[in-house]
A and B are shown apart, each in its own frame.
Chain A
Amino acid sequence: MADYLIPDELVYTAEDEWVRRDGDTDEVVIGVTDFAQNQLGDIVFVEFPDAGASTESGAAFGTIESVKAVSDLFAPLSGEVLAINEALEDAPELVNEACYGDGWLIKLRVSDIAEIDGLMDAAAYRASVAERDS
């Protein structure tokens, strides 16, 4: 298996997104994982809802496109979009270069922060990637 970066302090979805909770607040930052950006290849386009829009856990909230593929982005949690990463409009390659940093996607205020307990920890996500990465 290739060596993908999976930071211990984040939680993850089966759709290869990561979620970082901001302290004890109900605000989270969401992005795609190193495994996801690697599978997608060169990211060339990201499409988001506007700030203020609501997301529903498990529903598509945006689109990410590589040179060859179009993929839906699924909301890991229900909530309201507080901010989108506007830098990605001109520099979508940030998702490839720094998926856990400058390549983040959106900030959410989640409606029920307890939902976050349903996501995977790093160990579970590592196992999920290992299963799929042949």
Chain B
Amino acid sequence: MSGGGGAESSAPSGENAESEALRRTALHANHVRLGGRLVPFAGYEMPVQYTSIKEEHLAVRERAGLFDVSHMGQIQLRGDGAVAYLESLLTCNVASLGVGRARYGLMLNDQGGCIDDVMLTRVADDTYFLCVNASNVEKCWTWIQDHSVPKVKLENRSQATSLLALQGPAARGILERLHGGDTPLPKRFRVASCEIAGARVLASGTGYTGSPGFEIYVLNGEAPRLFDALLEEGQVDGLIPTGLGARDTLRLDAALPLYGHELDDTTSPVEAGLERFMKPLESGFFGSEAVAARADDTDPRRLVGLEMVGRGIARAEYEIAYAGNVVGVVTSGAPSPTLGKSVALGYVPRSLSDVGQTLTILIRNKEVEACVVETPFK
């Protein structure tokens, strides 16, 4: 057997992990001890799975899973000018974001394409941080520095910070039991500084799985012990360590975009169906004029959810056809471990993007029927 294309290839484009030494997160020894299968991902050696992607996917949907996502980057912005600067940098509304809250947004280039999709968190009145994709840390950091303004202090804290994601219906209960109790655990899209198993952390009611849960920011030195403490406490709830393979199938079922697949430097938020994370274009953020100009396209492409009707699995980069012509491309696809069917995301012309539209996916030179469905997939 030879790995054809696609083996654990969710690493966003632009990566050439083989050519240089891979970085390790602070949790590397934990992964090795737990028997995690480590693969190159966005320049890091990351666990793709510990036992089985299916099993880990199910654990998150039914119980809980613990992910190491320390490869993600964190950029802090602090100072009087931070609100105004972030308002120009991001598509989401910044001024209305209260202290202790988190919000999803996009950073656009001058062509209206996505530099990255980010989570903005306001930790204090004048202090924010952006959680950015691992593969985009350098690109985001350069862009942010190049457009910086006075009265904003920038700090790239990516290397010092570990990020754990405890996801699934049992996540809150597990965290409650390890919680020092000084402040309550945050609700959805809120953050709180907490003491968990003796470690000072920033707990965020966010995630990338479509299940409820938390993302936990902690200094590298405390991460290995916290990771073990969470696994031990959650054992009775069926918590297991979960890898990036399950993270990818979980986010796909939830139709959450993955940078390098659904989003890249050429994709506009409108094409990706992310308008709800975008302020009115008149507010004048970077890229807003280009997005407005692109609205005049006669038949722009649109990201759709696809469900396989025929037998086969749509995979990233497979072509989508209609009436014998190639009309689009699959950006992500996999058999869903929980839904019992094969699902995909892909770009097609807007005129072919209505729910119920029948299309075909070109799988090894055969046309296999698929149908546009609503997302998140059900």
Cα–Cα, bound, A105→B4 (Å): 19
Q: Closest CB of chain A to B346's CB: distance in Å?
A: 16
Given A32-B1, A70-B315, 14 extra CB contacts under 8 A: A36-B1, A40-B1, A41-B53, A42-B53, A63-B364, A65-B313, A67-B249, A68-B6, A68-B53, A69-B4, A69-B8, A71-B4, A72-B4, A73-B1
CB-CB contacts below 8 Å: B242-271 with A: 245, 248-249
Interface residues of chain A, those whose CB is within 8 Å of chain B, are 15-17, 32, 36, 40-42, 44-45, 47, 63-74, 89
Q: Closest CB of chain B to A39's CB: distance in Å?
A: 8
Pick 18 A–B contacts, CB within 8 A, sort by A: A16-B1, A17-B1, A41-B49, A41-B52, A41-B53, A45-B313, A63-B364, A66-B53, A67-B245, A67-B249, A67-B337, A68-B7, A68-B8, A68-B53, A69-B7, A70-B4, A70-B6, A71-B7
Are B1 and A71 interface neighbours, CB within 8 A? yes
Instruction: List the 7 closest A-B pairs by CB distance, nearest first.
Output: A69-B7, A44-B335, A67-B53, A42-B54, A70-B4, A71-B1, A15-B1
Q: B4 contacts which chain A residues (CB < 8 A)?
A: 63, 69-72
Are B2 and A67 interface neighbours, CB within 8 A? no
Contact status of A72 and B248, CB under 8 A, knowing A45-B313, A67-B54: no
Cα–Cα, bound, A10→B6 (Å): 30
Checking B2, B8, B249 against A74 with a beta-carbon cut-off of 8 angstroms, the contacting residue is B2
Are B3 and A69 interface neighbours, CB within 8 A? yes
B272 at the interface (CB under 8 A from A): no
Q: Closest CB of chain A to B366's CB: distance in Å?
A: 9
Q: B8 contacts which chain A residues (CB < 8 A)?
A: 68-69
Are A45 and B2 interface neighbours, CB within 8 A? no
Cα–Cα, bound, A42→B312 (Å): 16
Contact status of A42 and B52, CB under 8 A, knowing A71-B3, A72-B1: yes
B334 at the interface (CB under 8 A from A): yes
Q: B304 contacts which chain A residues (CB < 8 A)?
A: none
Are A45 and B335 interface neighbours, CB within 8 A? yes
B48 at the interface (CB under 8 A from A): yes
B5 at the interface (CB under 8 A from A): yes
Q: Which of B7, B248, B249 has the most CB of A within 10 A?
A: B7
Q: Closest CB of chain A to B149's CB: distance in Å?
A: 43
Q: A73 contacts which chain B residues (CB < 8 A)?
A: 1
Are B1 and A68 interface neighbours, CB within 8 A? no
Q: B248 contacts which chain A residues (CB < 8 A)?
A: 68
Q: A68 contacts which chain B residues (CB < 8 A)?
A: 6-8, 10, 48, 53, 245, 248, 334
Q: A15 contacts which chain B residues (CB < 8 A)?
A: 1-2
Q: B364 contacts which chain A residues (CB < 8 A)?
A: 47, 63
Q: A67 contacts which chain B residues (CB < 8 A)?
A: 53-54, 245, 249, 334-335, 337
Q: Closest CB of chain B to A20's CB: distance in Å?
A: 17
Q: Closest CB of chain A to B216's CB: distance in Å?
A: 26
Cα–Cα, bound, A47→B2 (Å): 15
Are B54 and A69 interface neighbours, CB within 8 A? no
In the complex, the chain B residue whose C-beta lies closest to that of A33 is B1
Cα–Cα, bound, A67→B10 (Å): 12
Q: A47 contacts which chain B residues (CB < 8 A)?
A: 364
Cα–Cα, bound, A66→B8 (Å): 10
Checking B2, B48, B49, B337 against A71 with a beta-carbon cut-off of 8 angstroms, the contacting residue is B2
Q: B334 contacts which chain A residues (CB < 8 A)?
A: 67-68
Q: B313 contacts which chain A residues (CB < 8 A)?
A: 44-45, 65, 70
In the complex, the chain B residue whose C-beta lies closest to that of A15 is B1
In the complex, the chain B residue whose C-beta lies closest to that of A37 is B1
In the complex, the chain B residue whose C-beta lies closest to that of A17 is B1
Q: Closest CB of chain A to B298's CB: distance in Å?
A: 35
Q: A44 contacts which chain B residues (CB < 8 A)?
A: 313, 335
Q: B5 contacts which chain A residues (CB < 8 A)?
A: 70
Q: Closest CB of chain A to B270's CB: distance in Å?
A: 30
